[in-house]
Amino acid sequence: MLRLVGSILQVARTNMIFHLLVATLTLELLPLVCARAEGSGITICTMNEVTMPSAKQHYEWLTANKRYGPDVANGFLQDSRADGDKFLEYQIIYLPEFPGGSGWFDINGLSGFFEANSHNVKKWQCDGAEYYPMAVLFGLEPKAFQNGTLYVSPKRGLQTAISLNTPSAANKVIEVRVSETDKLICQDLTVENTTEKGCSHPGSYFK
């Protein structure tokens, strides 16, 4: 019996050490991701690890919220029907200018970020109009912003806000492509109220 207890304790200690190593490596590697992105024409304003709500949970939250209510919730239900949970897990929100306090509130509310379980990896550092235009990405890791094209990689559980105020944005048209395959998912991120789904909810492009 004592040997069995000793074996159990040894396994527990080994598992604990393993998880601590994984957590440490994760925290050490994420700043490297920031550095690579910033060295590729991107300024990362903030970064969070997130677990997004399901489409059903977000629908219920919108329905119960006095600011939004059933009409907004039903609109979300219709828009998200094809992609389900991916509708929230993969998002691109383009901000040509500072949206104001209430604008940021709606971005966080309508995107599901308020409901998400989140862990901040990089604190916010982009106060000021000079950081706009800006993009908020869910499930997409920014890789580079070059020649008017934003390159991203799918990374579920990652949320970032990035400044796009660089010489690469001077031509006013911003494409979005998958870094690994060069696949075009958005022809022009700057188009207001675009019907191009890849420019706002590109979940259908990813497994």
DSSP structural state of residue 53:
P
Read out DSSP for 146-161? ETTEEEEEEEEEEEEE
| Residue of 115, 105, 108 lying closest to 56 (CA atoms) | 115
Read out DSSP for 46-91? EEEEEEPPPHHHHHHHHHH-TTTHHHHHHHHHHHHTTTTTHHHHSE
CB atoms within 10 A of CB 69: 12
Q: How confident is the model at residue 40 (pLDDT cuts 50, 70, 90)?
A: low
Report pLDDT for 121: 96
Q: How confident is the model at residue 88 (pLDDT cuts 50, 70, 90)?
A: very high
Can you give the length of the chain in residues?
207
Q: Could you read off the pLDDT of 7-21 as tens digits, one per residue? A: 433 434 444 444 444
Q: Which amino acid is at 44?
A: I
Report pLDDT for 192: 84
pLDDT beyond 70 at 32: no
Phi–psi pair at 144, nearest 5 degrees: -165, 155
pTM (2 decimals)?
0.79
Report pLDDT for 170: 61
pLDDT beyond 60 at 27: no
37 membership: H or E segment, kind and range: helix 2-38
